[in-house]
A and B are shown apart, each in its own frame.
Chain A
Amino acid sequence: MHVVVLTKSTPDTAAKVSVEGGTVTWKEAMVLNPWDEYAVTEAVLLKEAHKVKATVMTLGKEEHGEALKQGIAIGCDQGIRIWDDGLEGHDSLLYARSVAAAVQKLGDASLVIFGKEFSDTNTDQHVYQVARKLGWTVLGSVAKILEIDFGAGTIKVERLLEQGKQIVTSKLPVVIAVLKDINEPKYPSFIGIRKASKADIPVWGLADLGVDAGSLKTKVTALAEPPKREGEVEMITGDSAAQIAATLADKLLEDKVL
């Protein structure tokens, strides 16, 4: 029995990102994708509560190994990095085919956890594509795992949707994407840090996974910075709160905001 959590290194959310010569650049160090702090913590909590194995996995070049080390430091048993020159410029479909193959290669995985999205690309289609390629049920927006029984192969979760909460039960194996509400992210432990710094992280290539890269279905042809937002600040003053409010309301109507 085995829980797999997928992650990657992303620029710190405070990093100043810009596009130069067609590539995205920033100076700051990479961090564990912020959404994945919850996913990794959930995997470690499940490991502790259910005595299952927790593996943290990524698809990417060496810098993504940092996210794996962070995962091990927080408490995952092992890290696996998927990379191959053939994955250069991969789209989310090739990502999904490779990750699904890696999960299958582990043999005994019955739960795959993702953070809500990748904070660098603001995308989450990879979650659903991985589930599709595995042929597993997918549950997005999971705010709580209410029950899980690895032996019996069942899970009950609470999903937080725009319409409200939804309680769903399903048979394992499933792929879930978790929200911030699910837990209080754990810090790495010192013992975990030592384990991580000594960890040997295997790299699985396309041949190991039996995946043929084929031709990409989507390609990024150009990158550009979004136009700078222009705005003006106007301080509204007046003798009383009522007067200030009235002036503000007039302005908002005038500018067609209301």
Chain B
Amino acid sequence: MDFSLTEEHLMAQQMVRDFAHNEIYPTIKEWDRKQQLNPIVLPRMAELGILGINIPVRYGGQGFDYLTLALVCEELERVDTPLRVIMSVHMGLNSMSVLQWGTEEQKQRFLVPQAKGEKYAAFGLTEPNAGSDVAAMSSTARREGDVYILNGEKMWISLATKAHHILVFAKTDPHANPPHSGITAFMITDDMKGVTSGDIHDKLGVRAGSTGWVAMQDVEVPVENRIGEEGEGFYIAMAALDNGRYTVGAGAVGLIRACLEDSIKYAHSRETFGKPIAKHQLVQQKIAFMQQWYDASKLLIMKAGWLKNIGQRNTRETSVAKWYATDMSVQAALEAIQIHGAYGFSDEYDVERYLRNGKGAVIYEGTSEIHQLMQAGYALGFREDRPLRCELPAYDPEFWQN
């Protein structure tokens, strides 16, 4: 067993750390208060190649492996959650789905511009009345000759108003039995007639992120934009979540690290009863737990990344990693605020934002309850992964880098 990272991993990690720290950190509070995505974020991430980090060079990406994606997400969320959310939807949920399920022509048309950062990508699964229960969605897609006519509304969509390409799911067979077998995936573009979008404000967290709605009214989507087969949409969505959840979990590792590092700094500098609070055992216990949560979460995530690299199915491993890391990031944020006392309760320090941002991740990409159901399902033998028509390709340096 080899836990070491390569020089390439370490240099990529350092580069993203420097970018996030130097360029984004100083602006976070301003944009969090404005409730808008800092307009330099997407163009800079595109320019630096972050938006195509683990996509093969031949498809416009940087050709790094899946582990690098986790390292990048950790560094981004160490500084600010909205940065990592971008990777979750643009890369994990959308671009990696095209890599996995798209035809060669679709890879050229969608993946190449996305990996180059010329086009931003989002993922529209959730609807006002269907979140955890995906099969309850009511969006429809009706085939008419060479096009599908899409109708419906997608809600809580990250980058809804920023993305050019949105991978949406709609029912080609609303009466299918079982219901999930009637779902099909489509790539819609923001310039299609009948596509409208808007932002949702006054969220608890990721306020400097963009979350919104996308409405589709009689949108004509060419057949060439259907991803996968008719009725395959549910499997595509679940496979997408295997990758999205991986980025969310990796980001949560970064959030735990943020809580830990800020708490260590504060514990050394704040004094009570004649000594730094770091010398009080109850404060030490909180620090010790944060360290444990960080280490355990990171190991779970890297294991999932390793499985992706070697091309093995990792639905269960990714789910447990995402569940544990995000739950612990909320816990770590609560403890970090506690260590900071009243100062932690104000936005003078960053820890209150960690809590607000962390709370979203135990809801999206499978609520913590859904992950518990999944883990129990596997353990009790109620759930089993069947092979997919298209598996996420294993990382092959030859293919990726040339």
Contact = CB atoms under 8 A, between A and B. Distances in A.
Interface in B1-41: 6-8, 11-12, 15, 18-19
Contacts, number: 38
A51 interface: no
B19 A193 contact: no
Interface in A91-130: none
Given A73-B11, A194-B401, A189 B6 contact: no
A69 interface: yes
Nearest to A195: B8
A194 B63 contact: yes
A187 B18 contact: yes
Contacts of B57: 191
B12 A193 contact: yes
Contact of A194 (B8, B18, B19, B48): B8
Nearest to A74: B15
Contacts of A197: 6-8, 11
A214 to B, nearest CB: 37
B11 A187 contact: no
A189 B7 CA distance: 14
Interface extent on A, as a size class? 10 to 19
Contact of A190 (B7, B18, B62): B62
Contacts of B49: 189-191
A19 B208 CA distance: 45
B15 A191 contact: no
Interface string A59-88: 000000000011001000000000000000
A82 to B, nearest CB: 22
B15 A188 contact: yes
A177 interface: no
A196 interface: yes
A157 B101 CA distance: 55
Among A188, A190, A193, chain B packs the most CB atoms within 10 A around the CB of A190
Among B8, B19, B53, chain A packs the most CB atoms within 10 A around the CB of B8
B64 interface: yes
A69 B401 CA distance: 19
Given A196-B11, A197-B11, A190 B6 contact: no
B53 A190 contact: yes
A190 B19 contact: no
Contacts of B11: 69-70, 73, 188, 193, 196-197
Interface string A177-200: 000000000011111011011000
Contacts of A196: 7, 11
A159 to B, nearest CB: 27
Contacts of B48: 187, 189-190
Nearest to A198: B8
A70 B11 CA distance: 8
Given A190-B63, A190-B64, A191-B57, 7 more contacts: A69-B7, A73-B11, A187-B18, A190-B12, A190-B49, A190-B62, A194-B63
Interface of A: 69-70, 73, 187-191, 193-194, 196-197
